[in-house]
Amino acid sequence: MKREEIVNGNMANTMDELKILGKQMENLRDGGQLEEAERISDPQQFDDEEEEGK
């Protein structure tokens, strides 16, 4: 199997993909910036099922 074909569940499989992800992360907006743009952030994720009901 060639190195380019390896898909192992990581967010990035190549250095080019890693650079692209880094650029995307630099441009992420925080909660305050989202509020200014009248946007809603993604829902908070929980590890425990019992916390989801809160």
Q: Which residues contact 11 (CB under 8 A, 6 or more apart)?
A: 17, 21
**What pLDDT score does 2 carry?**
57
**What pLDDT score does 7 carry?**
59
**Res. 1: pLDDT tops 50:** no
**What pLDDT score does 14 carry?**
86
What pLDDT, in 10s, does the model give residues 16-40?
988 999 999 898 888 888 888 888 8
- Cα→Cα distances 3→7, 14, 22, 48, Å: 9, 9, 21, 37
**What pLDDT score does 4 carry?**
62
State the average pLDDT for the chain. 77
Contact 30, 39 (CB under 8 A): no
